[in-house]
Structure 1
C-alpha cells in the first residue's frame, strides 16, 4: 500500500516494515520538522484489528506523557483513512540490533552505559505505571554521540487471542519474562527481565535461554524452568559482578528481581564496587551448587533466605509444561512426517536412476538370504505401523468442501444466535465456587482463514467466538489455598474478579472473598489436517469452563456433527464428544 499523506504529515520514504506496523520518514509542514511515523498495518487479522487499534492508540497516548532523554518522544497520535499512526521523534543512528549483528563485540564500558540508560528510561516509565512489554535490541536506538533511546512504547502489545490463533508468540520470544509466557499479569519488572536478557546477549553474544535448534516451545519452557547460565562461564573476561547483576535481573519470579530499574542502573554503573566472595550459598544462579558465591555490596544487609515457592506460579508452570509437551509432540510428529516423505522421494529417485543406468536385457542378481531372515522380514512387515496416505488434490478439496459447508452452517447459526440472544441451557461450574448464574449468549462471530494447496485456496481453520454474560456476580469466601486455585482457573477462563481479605471472629486466619464477574468468552477453532484427513476442534469454554480438544475423521465431518457441536455450544444434550476420529 502506497501512502503519500497521513493526517497533516507528508510521507517522504518508507524506513521499514514489520508484522504489525510500518515506519515512514515524514515531514510535519506546520513546523517543517522531520518525524518518524509508525502505522498499524491494516492487514492484521480482522477479529483482532479493532482491539489492537484501540490499544495501539491508547497506549501510545500514555507513552506521549513520557518526557525523558532516553525515551523517543511521541509528538502526535491519530487515525487517518482508517490507518492508526504515531508521529514521533526521528532519530539518526542505528538500532542496537544492527550494531550487535554487524559486530565486533562492544566494549564493557559501552555495554554498561547503554543498558544503564535504558534502565533509566524504564524506571521513569515505572513511575507512570507504563509497561513496555517488548524490550529487545531492535527497540533500542543508538545515536552517533552514544545516546540510547527506547522506542515502541505501547506498540508491541498484541492480545493473547492472537498468539493462540497464529501459533506465534507476541514480540520476540527470546526476551519474554516467565510471567508473560505463563499469561500472568505483568508490571515493570517484566521489562527489567527483558533488559537483563539484552544485557546477557551484549556480553555473551547470545541470549541466556536459547540453544542450537531449540523450538519456540522449548525456549518458553527454558525461560520458565531453567536458571540462566553464568555469563562468566561463557566469557572468562567478564567481571564476576555481572553474574550477580544478571541473577537479580533474571529472577524467575518478579519478587526475586530488581524491584525498580533504577537499582539495576545503579549496580551497572557501580559494578566495580560490587565484591564477590566464596560462601556456602548463592544468589547468582538459583538451584546451582552450594560452593558458589555470594555478593556483598557496600553497606548492604546480609542476604535473606530465598522466598517460599509461589503455588500459583508453580501451578501455572505445570500447566505450561503440559501444554508445551503437547505442542512439542505435535511439532515433532509433523517434522517426522516431512522427513519420511523426503526420504521416500530420495529413495524413489535413486531407484529410478539405478534402473535407468542398468543395461537393457540384464536383470539384477537376487541377494542370497536364509529362510530365517526371510521369516523375520515377513514378521517385521506385519508389525510395521501403517503410514497415512499422502494428501492428493482430490482428498484435500473434498475435506475443504466439508469445511466450507461447516462454515455456512455456523454462519447461519451465529446470525440466528445473535438475533435470539439465547440463554445457555447447561450448567457452567467453577471449582470451589459452584454453578454460575443464568447466562445470556451473544456477540457471536465466525470467520475462516485459507492456505494454498497446489495453488488452490483451501480452508486452514474456522474461528468461532461468542460471549456468555450474566448481570449477577458470583460471590464466594474461601481459604487462601482454595482462593489461589480458583483464581488460576478464573484467569485461564479470562474471567474478571475482585478480591479482599476478610477476618471473622470464628476464624483465626484471614480468608479471601471473591466477587466474580460472570462474563465468559468462548472460542473454538476447527483446524483442517489434510494429511491425516481429519478436523481438530480446539475449544475454550465451549459447553464447559476450560480447554478441550477433539479430533474427528473427515468421513464424520458432516451436517450432523456440526449440529451436535452447536448443541454443545448452547449447553444442550449432545453426542459431539462421542464422535471418534478415523484418521
Structure 2
C-alpha cells in the first residue's frame, strides 16, 4: 500500500491541453522569432484581441536540453512571463500546452513599431524620445532583475514601442533564474552581437550580461551602429571582444556627456568595471532625462 501511495505522489498532474484552433480566431501573423510564431488573434472566450505565441517543439526542447543537468528545472517562458507585472513589460494573461503539445502564451496585443525599425530609420520619433525609451527599457530590466531573473537576450528586436510611445519588453524565451547553478560557466545563449565577453568566453555570468546588452542597445539607439566593427555571427564577435568599443561621444558630439559616460561604462569588457546593478545605471540616465525635460 505504501509503495502505491509513493507512486501516486510521483505522478505528474494532468495538464488540460488547449485546442487553439477552436479557442482562437487567428487573424494574421505578426512575428516569428527563432523559436516561435506569433499571431494577432481573437480569443473567442473574451472576444478580445490578443497576441498568441506558439513555441516550436523541437527548438524549445533543444534549448531546454542545455539545462537538463540542473538540479532545479529551468522555468518555461510562460512560467516566467506570467509573473511579470510592469508598465514596460508585455502582459501575459495565460500560458499552457496545445493539443499538439506546443507551449503557448496569450499576451496583450501591442500596436506599435519594433525598436529595431526605429534604430534603422532614426526618425523624429527616435530622435525626440530616445532617452525616454532608454530609461523605460532600463526600468523594465530593473524590475526583471528584482524578480531574480537573467534575461540573456536584451536587444532591439525584443522591444516594441507602442502607439503612445511607450516601450515594451516582449520576449522571455532564454530567461534563467539568477542563481549559482544557472550562473555557472558553459551555457552560451543569446544574440551574438549583444553577448557580454564573459558569456562568449563561457565564463561565470550574472545579471551584468543584461547590463552589457542594454548598453549595446543604447549605443545603437544613438548611432545606428554597434560599438565594434565586424559582422553579426558569433565568430565575428569573438574576434573583437578584446577590442575597446568606439567612443560614443566622438560619434555623437551633441550627446549629453553624462549619458555617453553611463553607456560606455555599461560596455566595459570586465563585469567588475560595469555598473553592478541596473538601478545604479539608471540613476544618471534618469537625471539626464529630467534635465532635458526641464530645459
Same fold, judged at TM 0.5 (above)? yes
**1:198–1:180 CA distance, 2 compared to 1 (3 A):** same
SS across alignment from 2:227 = coil
Is 2:72 the partner of 1:58? Answer: no
Is 2:194 the partner of 1:180? Answer: no
Deviation, structure 1 residue 60: 2.7
Higher RCO, 1 vs 2 (CA within 8 Å, ≥6 residues apart): 2
SS across alignment from 1:87 = strand
Is 2:23 the partner of 1:8? Answer: yes
Deviation, structure 1 residue 125: 1.0
Equivalent-residue separation in structure 2 for 1:172 and 1:19 (angstroms): 10
Unmatched tracts of structure 2, length 5 or more: 1-18, 177-181
- Residue 113 of structure 2 corresponds to which residue in structure 1? 94
- Residue 257 of structure 2 corresponds to which residue in structure 1? 240
Deviation, structure 1 residue 248: 1.9
Please give the per-residue CA displacement for 1:66-113, whole angstroms capped at 9, x wherever unaligned: 110011011111111111111111101111012222333765551110
- Residue 255 of structure 1 corresponds to which residue in structure 2? 272
- Residue 135 of structure 1 corresponds to which residue in structure 2? 154
Equivalent-residue separation in structure 2 for 1:174 and 1:16 (angstroms): 21
Equivalent-residue separation in structure 2 for 1:50 and 1:120 (angstroms): 28
Please give the per-residue CA displacement for 1:308-358, whole angstroms capped at 9, x wherever unaligned: xxxxxxxxxxxxxxxxxxxxxxxxxxxxxxxxxxxxxxxxxxxxxxxxxxx
Deviation, structure 1 residue 63: 2.6
**Matching residue within 72, 75, 83 for 2:90:** 72
- Residue 34 of structure 2 corresponds to which residue in structure 1? 19
Q: Which moved more, 1:48-57 or 1:96-105?
A: 48-57
Is 2:239 the partner of 1:221? Answer: yes
Q: Which has the larger radius of gyration?
A: 1
Equivalent-residue separation in structure 1 for 2:245 and 2:163 (angstroms): 32
Equivalent-residue separation in structure 1 for 2:90 and 2:103 (angstroms): 18
Deviation, structure 1 residue 273: 9.1
Equivalent-residue separation in structure 2 for 1:147 and 1:62 (angstroms): 22
Equivalent-residue separation in structure 2 for 1:87 and 1:13 (angstroms): 15
- Residue 271 of structure 1 corresponds to which residue in structure 2? 288
**1:7–1:56 CA distance, 2 compared to 1 (3 A):** farther
**Aligned ranges 1:315-394 → 2 under 5 Å:** none
Deviation, structure 1 residue 257: 1.6
Equivalent-residue separation in structure 1 for 2:218 and 2:105 (angstroms): 29
**Matching residue within 227, 248, 258 for 1:231:** 248
Equivalent-residue separation in structure 2 for 1:45 and 1:65 (angstroms): 20
Deviation, structure 1 residue 192: 1.1
Deviation, structure 1 residue 191: 1.0
Unmatched tracts of structure 1, length 5 or more: 275-583
SS across alignment from 1:271 = helix
**1:267–1:259 CA distance, 2 compared to 1 (3 A):** same
- Residue 500 of structure 1 corresponds to which residue in structure 2? none
How does the TM-score come out when normalised to structure 1?
0.41
**1:151–1:7 CA distance, 2 compared to 1 (3 A):** farther
- Residue 33 of structure 1 corresponds to which residue in structure 2? 48
Equivalent-residue separation in structure 2 for 1:12 and 1:26 (angstroms): 5
Deviation, structure 1 residue 203: 0.9
SS across alignment from 1:270 = helix
Would the aligned equivalents of 1:63 and 1:130 in 2 still touch at CA under 8 Å? no
**Aligned ranges 1:559-570 → 2 under 5 Å:** none
**Aligned ranges 1:425-574 → 2 under 5 Å:** none
Please give the per-residue CA displacement for 1:264-316, whole angstroms capped at 9, x wherever unaligned: 22211223899xxxxxxxxxxxxxxxxxxxxxxxxxxxxxxxxxxxxxxxxxx
Deviation, structure 1 residue 29: 2.1
Equivalent-residue separation in structure 2 for 1:77 and 1:96 (angstroms): 26
Equivalent-residue separation in structure 1 for 2:60 and 2:132 (angstroms): 40
- Residue 16 of structure 2 corresponds to which residue in structure 1? none
Length, aligned pairs only: 260
More strand by share: 1
**1:22–1:175 CA distance, 2 compared to 1 (3 A):** same
Deviation, structure 1 residue 252: 1.8
- Residue 179 of structure 2 corresponds to which residue in structure 1? none
Deviation, structure 1 residue 12: 2.6
**Matching residue within 207, 215, 230 for 2:226:** 207
Deviation, structure 1 residue 120: 0.5
Deviation, structure 1 residue 157: 5.6
How does the TM-score come out when normalised to structure 2?
0.77
Equivalent-residue separation in structure 2 for 1:203 and 1:39 (angstroms): 34
SS across alignment from 2:216 = helix
- Residue 5 of structure 2 corresponds to which residue in structure 1? none
